[in-house]
Amino acid sequence: MKSSILVTGGAGYIGSHTAVSLAKAGFRVVLLDNFSNSDFQAVQGVRSLINAEVPFYEVDCRDTDGLFDVFRIEKEKGHVIKGVIHFAALKSVGESVENPELYKDNNILGTERLLEVMRAFDVENLVFSSSCTVYGEPEVVPVDENAPFLEAESPYGFTKQACERLIVNHLTRNPKFNAVILRYFNPIGAHPSAVIGESPRGVPNNLIPYLCQSVAGIRGALHVFGTDYPTPDGSCIRDYLHVMDLAEAHVAALEFLFKDKLRDKDTGWRAYNLGTGKGASVLEVIQAFEKVTGLEVPYSIAERREGDVVAIWANASRAKDELGWQTKRSLEEALNDSWRWQKKRPDSQ
Ligand code: NAD
Ligand code: UFG
């Protein structure tokens, strides 16, 4: 029988793409989401791409009883959940500054409760969505997994650091537990079918959704936040990876856990950077988008955005060596897929 994997935040951007890759790799996926930043359309999209039964539970990760029911119901149906990929979290840096308590409550308490319920059901394998934000403004780039956690740039970043620590503490009290912590750099793009993609609510904070909506005429010109940074063209540098590459990394992480590789190690957990290993500046991204789509990006130079890291990209060699994963898709392919998705979205009409 196929192993069942619970995907929390499964209606979200990365969760929905990962669900599709998991199914393709032979896993049975169970989705959970509270729709705080998504809607049922994504679930329908996943179902249509997988073309199979995909159970969905509208549950909040802070709701212990609701979580308990998910594991119980699946068990009663004969599907023991073997592993969990925990995406469910709030992720807006700006919102976290305005409402830090909400972020602590949602992200940290949600993770704590999930761990409790996993323990009650003897579910021993966890893949956790972390972020390169845990490194703050790194002293050395490319940044590797041994870089220290610097002071978090935002309450959101603090919750990711806290959740990583929570998971490691949980492990010390639960020797059979295994966790892979994935530190994502900047995921962009969409499934090539354009059936699922990134659907931010309201005005997008992130570069690519904003850029696409500017080109589609939904927003005004894109503001490039600062061109006076100490980088070759003055704009900030990030490591943009295709969301399908990122989705496939979760499959590799789960397969790694299921092969019991972690149990051979002392700690029971391992963190991996997920990025391309190459940085691109905001202005380079604009140029690449224009080249691949043939469209002009309306943009203007604006003030620096508070809290922005100047330049960060990944040393992702650990993921390559140990998980056998590396990115396959280019920046241009990712931008093209983002644009294809934008054109199909209802708000792009
Ligand atoms: P997303 O907002 O599209 O998906 C998160 C999903 O979790 C949403 O569908 C939301 O409704 C759900 N959710 C939030 N809180 C919940 C709760 N308490 N209970 C149940 N569901 C809840 O975001 P995403 O981009 O897919 O991010 C997924 C994960 O990856 C998050 O943990 C995020 O912090 C992390 N991450 C994202 C990025 C990025 O740039 N997108 C970068 C690094 C890390
Ligand atoms: N940018 C603009 N104009 C915009 C939006 C962004 O110039 O309208 C610039 C930013 O200043 C930054 C770059 O584009 O230099 C990327 O910004 P994003 O907001 O897309 O991404 P960040 O690197 O700031 O943050 C993202 C997620 C965080 C996560 C982090 C690391 O939003 O949640 O990646 O994974 F923590």
In tens, the pLDDT along 70-86 reads: 999 999 999 999 999 99
Q: Report how far residue 7's alpha carbon sits from residue 24's, in angstroms, rounded to the nearest whole number.
A: 15
In tens, the pLDDT along 129-139 reads: 999 999 998 99
Among residues 57, 103, 135, 156, which one is catalytic? 156
pLDDT at res. 223: 98
In tens, the pLDDT along 286-340 reads: 999 999 999 999 999 999 998 899 999 999 999 999 999 999 999 999 999 999 9
Q: Report how far residue 200's alpha carbon sits from residue 198's, in angstroms, rounded to the nearest whole number.
A: 6
Bridge-based pairing of strands 186-188 and 240-242 is parallel
| CB of 190 closer than 8 Å to CB of 340 | yes
pLDDT band at 2 (very low <50, low <70, confident <90, very high): confident
pLDDT at res. 346: 58
**Is the Cβ atom of 29 under 6 angstroms away from ligand 1?**
no
**Is the Cβ atom of 197 under 6 angstroms away from ligand 1?**
no
**Percent of the chain whose pLDDT exceeds 70:** 98
Q: From the CA of 188, which ligand is nearest?
A: 1
| CB of 284 closer than 8 Å to CB of 290 | no
In tens, the pLDDT along 157-171 reads: 999 999 999 999 999
Q: From the CA of 198, which ligand is nearest?
A: 1
In tens, the pLDDT along 99-130 reads: 999 999 999 999 999 999 999 999 999 999 99
> Average pLDDT for residues 38-48, to the nearest whole number?
97
Q: Which two tokens stand for residue 102?
A: 């909400």
Bridge-based pairing of strands 299-302 and 240-242 is unpaired
Nearest CA to ligand 1 atom 41: 187
In tens, the pLDDT along 15-31 reads: 999 999 999 999 999 99
Residue 102 backbone zone (phi > 0: left; psi -120 to 50: alpha; other: beta): alpha
Nearest CA to ligand 1 atom 33: 91
> Average pLDDT for residues 169-193, to the nearest whole number?
95
**Is the Cβ atom of 110 under 6 angstroms away from ligand 1?**
yes
Whether residue 229 lies in the annotated active site: no
pTM of the predicted protein model:
0.97
List the single range of 37-46, 263-272, 283-292 with lowest mean pLDDT: 263-272
Which residue, 237, 341, 344, is CA-closest to 13? Answer: 341
Q: Which atom of ligand 2 is nearest to the CA of 237?
A: 15
pLDDT band at 347 (very low <50, low <70, confident <90, very high): low
The string of DSSP codes covering 219-284 is: SSPEEEE-S-SSSTTSS-EE-EEEHHHHHHHHHHHHHHHHTTTGGGSSSSEEEEEES-S--EEHHH
Task: Give the chain's mean pLDDT.
Answer: 95
Compute, in angstroms, the gap from residue 104 CA to the centroid of ligand 2. Answer: 21
| CB of 190 closer than 8 Å to CB of 198 | yes
Q: Please, which residues bridge with residue 4 across strands? A: 28, 81
pLDDT at res. 266: 72
**Is the Cβ atom of 164 under 6 angstroms away from ligand 1?**
no
Residues near 317 by beta carbon (within 8 Å), at least 6 away in sequence: 144, 277
Which residues have C-beta atoms less than 6 Å from ligand 2?
91, 93, 131-133, 184-186, 205-207, 210, 222-225, 236, 238, 282, 305, 308
Answer yes or no: is pLDDT of 93 > 60: yes
pLDDT band at 349 (very low <50, low <70, confident <90, very high): very low
> Average pLDDT for residues 214-218, to the nearest whole number?
96
Answer yes or no: is pLDDT of 143 > 70: yes
pLDDT band at 264 (very low <50, low <70, confident <90, very high): low
Compute, in angstroms, the gap from residue 28 CA to the centroid of ligand 2. Answer: 33
Q: Which atom of ligand 1 is nearest to the CA of 62?
A: 18
**Is the Cβ atom of 157 under 6 angstroms away from ligand 1?**
no
